[in-house]
Structure formats: structure tokens, C-alpha cells
């Protein structure tokens, strides 16, 4: 699987239709849960998502099956609702889902553009070269990549962070498959844990934040439980890492002009998005799109000043008789913002469209209301949210969290934080449970595998359980 994005962020939540208002989900006018249409829709969605999970083996882009499934489900719903005289209701539900996806698309597009700009300016290459050149042994590299994954993912998103750290591991480990497998597991667990306490760290946390259930600052109580969910498995796995040093070749990487300033603009963009949401109560996407303008103006500045910058560097290279520098200057390409936009991972963006529309269709059929009644009315919400984490490992946390938000259960702040935590770190139980795990199976093909991860699932499960207990104990006041 290619680099999906990245980074840093996104889906939003949605009451999936006009029937899922903020006051709580209501029943659709037609109950199709026990109809042929309903059963066929479930089968279509199940087949589509099975193909998504088998992407690595089938080499079939994950967006294709969910796009087809979404079209088929809504075609059936349109036919039934038009026959029963409720086509306006179905039309309103469809438009609501499209509006929510439009916000998601633009939010993700800005985030991906910034990440691609940082990559083009060689920021990630420089970080990788620094780590490789320090001469760490395998155990130190194991801890360094894990800790960096934990602290970078809250800003750059768990998927981008995992791919970056995996590139480092692959470069220094050579053919040591055992170390690569353990290091990749550690990276996945750390990136998912680090993303759980930040609205920008995981798509699921962003969904909860944008839904308004948890404010930006209210995620911080999840920090310690997130640390627990990472540290316990990491300590156990580190006992199986050798102290020997890998054979590596140091490579110097020079940042391109404007690299550090783009990082500052990205931080300013995130701050703008938070301000629009917290102060003005507008969707965060408005602030993100304003942040895209920051990058556009800076790109304009880089292009207009490129000749002067090259001339100054050429004079210095000639004075220093640096032929390599002169040759490098001759290959400089002007910064192009629209080229960065074109490099967004469109397969991922279209995949989210398919997920939003499929889950929206199942909500209109009535399945989500039925599941919500069982899980959040007949069960204790704590057990329901723990089950959400387990389901996230099997199905992937994005559609699971989207379904929960569409159900609109009435829960305390403690339980909203709990479901955010379990959906985030629960995806680490299996390699297919999160985008980070699926991506690394492709990046480290044959070295980090499903069954290689599965062997350590009990150890990861200990961290998962310990994180839940820690949250219930430390944040007990939030459950009242």
C-alpha cells in the first residue's frame, strides 16, 4: 500500500442523516432491517470491506469496492423510498452525507498538501538521516522509533508517522526480519497510542472532536492511558531485541529552502482550525482552507525569490570551488503548490467517501439504530465502548467509530473519551485494525506480516486492558 496520507488528520463525524440529530438518533420512516433490501445491503457492505482488508493480497485499491458498494446501497434505497413516497427524505439524507464528506475531503486535502510539501522539502529525509547516522544499536533504535512515533503522531497523524519510522527501520535493519517485525509492531502500537490523545493524531479522534462531543483541551486526560497502552507492550517486546549494532552508511541530507517555515505555517494552520472551531463555532475545515492560503502565498514567495537565492548560492559554491553544489543547484525545481495538491492520496479520500456513504445507507435502513439500542441501552456503556475497540481491530476503527457517532448515544464525557481511546489503541491488536498497520504490511512486505503481528496480540492486549483500567481509575470523575 502506498503512502496514504497522511497525516495529520481527519474524518468528521456525522450524524449520518437527518434522522440522527444532535438530540439523539430517531428511527427512519421505513424500517428495512428485516427486508430483502436490508439483507442485500449488509452482504454488499461485508463483501466490499472484505476486499478492503485483502487489498495487500489482491492488489485492488481499497476505494474501488466501497465506492461500488455505496452506489448499489443508495440505488436500492432510492428505489424503495421513491416507491413508498418518501424520496424527499432519502434525498435529504443523501445530501447531508455529501455535505459532511465535502468538509472531510477539504480538511484532509489541506493536511495532505502540507505533509507532501514537507516531504518535498526533505524534512522527513533529514530526520531519517539523523537517526541513521547516530549509530544506535537495535534496542536503542527500537525505543527511539517507538518514542518518536508516539510523540510525532499527535501532530502528523499515526499513518504518516508509522511510514516514516518504518522507512528508518528498513534502512538500518537490512535483512534482520525478526527485528523489522518487532520494530514495526512497536511503531504501529506507539503511533496509534500517540494519536489517541490528540484530535489530529487519528481520524477517529478527529471525528469525535469535530462532532463536538469532546473539545480540543478535553482530550488531555487520555495522555497517561495512551502512554500505558504503548509502554507495557514495548517493554515486553524490547526484551527480545538484541543489543548488537546494525551496519549502516551515514548520508547527509540538506533541507530545501523554506522547509522549516513550512512547518511553522502548518502549526499556524492547525491553530487557525482550532480557533475557528473553539471560538467561532465554525467547522475546523474553514480554518484549514485558510491555512492552505498561507502555503500558497509562501509558495509564491519561494518562486519569486528563487533566482536570487540560486544566484547567491552559486556565488558561494564558486568561491568554495564546490562542483557538487553547483550541479545540485542546476537541478532545483521551483516549489509548486498545485503539484503538492496533486500528490494527495486520492485512493484514501475516495475510500472515506465510500465508508461515509455506506454507513449512511445502513443508518437509513435502520441497522445502526438497532445496534445502538442493544449496545448503549441494554449494555453498560463502558462494556459497549470496550467492545468498540475489539471490533476496531477486526473491521478497522474508521467505520466502527463512524457508526458509533451516527448512532448518537447519550454518554458522559468519560465514556466519550473511553470510546476514543479504545477505537484508537484497539486497532493495534491486529495489523489490519488500523491504517498504520495495513500500510506497514505493504511498506515492509514479507517482513512485517499479519501473523507476525498476531503472535504479539496477547501482549498488546495487556496494554489495551491496562489503558482502559488507567482511564477508569484516573478519570473516574468524568463518568458522572
CA atoms within 13 A on the CB side of 426: 24
Same domain, residue pair 352 and 428: yes
Residues 6+ apart with CB under 8 A from 184: 166, 169, 440, 444, 447, 448, 453
Domain-ending residue, one of 323, 342, 361: 342
Q: How many CB atoms lie within 10 A of CB 313?
A: 17
Residue 268 in grid coordinates: 499556524
Q: Both 207 and 322 in a single domain?
A: no
Mean pLDDT score, 33-55: 87
Residue 2 domain-assigned? no
In this structure, the answer to whether residues 348 and 203 fall within a common structural domain is yes
Same domain? For 168 and 225 the reply is yes
Lowest mean pLDDT among 214-218, 383-387, 417-421: 214-218
Asked, for residue 353, whether it belongs to a domain, the answer is yes
C-alpha cell at 323: 562542483
Nearest of 420, 427, 428 to residue 208 by alpha carbon = 420
Domain boundary among 325, 342, 359: 342
Q: How confident is the model at residue 436 (pLDDT cuts 50, 70, 90)?
A: confident
d(CA 373, CA 446): 43
Render pLDDT for 118-133 as a digit per residue (tens, 0 to 9): 878 888 778 777 776 7
Least confident of 64-73, 114-123, 367-376, 461-470: 367-376
Handedness of CA 472, 477, 479, 480 (dihedral sign): positive
C-alpha cell at 244: 548488537
Q: Is residue 5 part of a domain?
A: no
Residues 224 and 265 in one domain: no
Structural domain tally of the chain?
2
CB 364 within 8 A of CB 28: yes
Least confident of 3-12, 57-66, 338-347, 443-452: 3-12
Asked if 232 and 269 sit in the same domain, the reply is no
Q: Is 212 or 260 the better-scoring residue by pLDDT?
A: 260
Report pLDDT for 11: 30
Give the per-residue pLDDT at 104: 73
Element (H, E) at 25: strand 24-25
Note whether 39 and 150 are same-domain residues. yes
Please give the backbone phi and psi of residue 21, each rounded to the nearest 5 degrees, phi first.
-80, 170
Based on the domain organization, do 267 and 279 belong to the same domain?
Answer: yes
Report in angstroms the alpha-carbon separations of 474 from 63, 192, 402: 40, 21, 27
Q: 376 with 412, same domain?
A: yes
Question: Is residue 14 assigned to a domain?
Answer: no
- Same domain as 99, residue 179: yes
Helices 413-426 and 177-195: crossing angle, nearest 10°?
160
Residue with cell 459532511: 100
Q: What is the DSSP letter of 225?
A: H
Q: Is 217 exposed, middle or buried (0-12, 13-18, 19+ CB in 10 A)?
A: exposed
At residue 471, the pLDDT reads 94
**CB contact burial 115-143 (16+ within 10 A = b; e otherwise):** bbbbbbbbbbbbbbbebbeeebebbebbb
Q: What is the rounded distance in angstroms from the CA atom of residue 83 to the CA atom of residue 90?
A: 12
d(CA 423, CA 408): 16
Is residue 350, in this structure, part of any structural domain at all?
yes
Q: What are phi and psi of 248, to 5 degrees?
A: -130, 160
**In this predicted structure, what is the pLDDT of residue 282?**
84
> How does the average pLDDT of the chain come out, rounded?
79
Q: Does 35 reside within a domain?
A: yes
Same structural domain for residues 228 and 287?
Answer: no
**Distance between CA atoms of residues 376 and 395, nearest Å:** 20
Establish if 7 belongs to a structural domain.
no
Contact criterion met (CB below 8 Å) for 358 and 69: yes
Last residue of one domain, picked from the residues 324, 342, 360: 342
Within-domain flag for 404: yes
Residue 26 C-alpha from the chain's centroid: 30
Q: What is the pLDDT of residue 214?
A: 82
DSSP string of 365-404, one letter each residue: HTHHHHHHHIIIIIS-HHHHHHHHHHHHHHH-HHHHHHHH
Q: What is the pLDDT of residue 1?
A: 36
pLDDT given at position 16: 33
422 and 285 assigned to the same domain: no
By residue range, what is the domain housing residue 263?
259-342
3-state secondary structure of 406: helix
Amino acid at each position: 500500500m502506498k503512502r496514504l496520507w497522511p497525516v495529520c488528520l481527519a474524518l468528521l463525524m456525522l450524524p449520518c442523516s437527518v434522522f440522527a440529530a444532535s438530540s439523539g438518533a430517531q428511527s427512519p420512516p421505513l424500517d428495512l432491517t428485516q427486508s430483502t433490501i436490508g439483507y442485500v445491503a449488509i452482504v454488499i457492505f461485508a463483501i466490499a470491506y472484505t476486499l478492503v482488508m485483502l487489498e495487500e493480497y489482491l492488489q485492488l485499491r481499497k476505494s474501488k469496492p466501497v465506492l461500488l458498494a455505496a452506489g448499489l446501497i443508495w440505488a436500492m434505497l432510492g428505489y424503495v423510498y421513491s416507491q413508498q413516497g418518501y424520496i424527499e427524505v432519502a434525498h435529504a439524507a443523501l445530501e447531508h452525507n455529501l455535505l459532511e464528506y465535502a468538509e472531510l475531503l477539504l480538511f484532509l486535502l489541506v493536511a495532505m498538501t502540507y505533509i507532501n510539501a514537507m516531504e518535498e522539502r526533505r524534512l522527513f529525509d533529514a530526520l531519517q538521516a539523523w537517526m541513521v547516522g547516530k549509530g544506535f544499536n537495535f534496542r536503542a533504535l527500537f525505543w527511539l522509533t517507538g518514542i518518536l512515533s508516539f510523540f510525532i503522531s499527535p501532530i502528523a497523524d499515526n499513518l504518516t508517522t508509522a511510514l516514516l519510522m518504518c522507512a528508518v527501520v528498513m534502512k538500518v535493519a537490512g535483512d534482520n526480519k525478526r527485528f523489522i517485525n518487532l520494530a514495526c509492531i512497536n511503531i504501529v502500537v506507539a503511533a496509534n497510542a500517540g494519536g489517541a490523545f490528540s484530535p489530529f493524531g487519528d481520524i477517529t479522534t478527529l471525528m469525535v472532536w469535530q462532532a463536538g462531543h469532546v473539545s480540543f483541551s478535553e482530550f488531555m486526560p487520555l495522555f497517561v492511558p495512551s502512554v500505558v497502552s504503548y509502554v507495557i507492550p514495548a517493554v515486553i517486546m524490547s526484551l527480545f531485541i538484541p543489543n548488537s549494532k546494525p551496519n549502516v552508511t551515514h548520508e547527509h541530507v540538506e533541507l530545501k529552502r523554506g522547509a522549516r517555515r513550512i512547518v511553522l505555517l502548518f502549526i499556524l494552520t492547525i491553530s487557525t482550525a482550532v480557533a475557528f472551531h473553539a471560538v467561532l463555532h465554525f467547522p475546523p475545515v474553514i480554518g484549514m482552507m485558510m491555512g492552505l492560503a498561507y502555503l500558497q502565498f509562501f509558495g509564491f514567495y519561494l518562486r519569486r525569490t528563487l533566482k536570487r537565492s540560486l544566484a547567491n548560492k552559486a556565488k558561494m559554491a564558486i568561491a568554495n570551488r564546490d562542483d557538487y553544489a553547483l550541479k545540485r543547484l542546476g537541478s532545483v525545481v521551483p516549489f509548486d503548490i498545485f503539484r503538492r495538491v496533486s500528490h494527495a492520496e486520492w485512493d484514501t479520500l475516495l475510500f472515506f467517501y465510500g465508508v461515509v456513504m455506506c454507513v449512511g445507507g445502513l443508518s437509513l435502513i435502520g441497522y445502526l439504530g438497532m445496534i445502538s439500542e442493544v449496545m448503549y441501552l441494554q449494555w453498560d456503556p463502558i462494556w459497549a465502548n470496550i467492545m468498540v475497540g475489539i471490533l476496531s481491530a477486526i473491521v478497522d476503527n474508521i467505520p466502527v467509530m463512524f457508526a458509533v457517532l451516527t448512532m448518537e448515544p447519550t454518554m458522559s464525557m468519560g465514556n466519550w473519551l473511553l470510546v476514543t481511546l479504545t477505537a484508537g489503541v484497539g486497532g493495534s491488536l491486529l495489523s489490519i485494525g488500523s491504517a498504520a498497520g495495513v500500510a506497514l504490511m505493504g511498506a515492509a512486505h514479507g517482513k512485517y506480516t499479519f501473523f507476525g503481528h498476531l503472535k504479539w496480540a496477547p501482549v498488546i492486549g495487556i496494554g489495551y486492558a491496562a489503558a482502559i483500567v488507567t482511564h477508569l481509575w484516573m478519570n473516574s470523575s468524568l463518568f458522572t
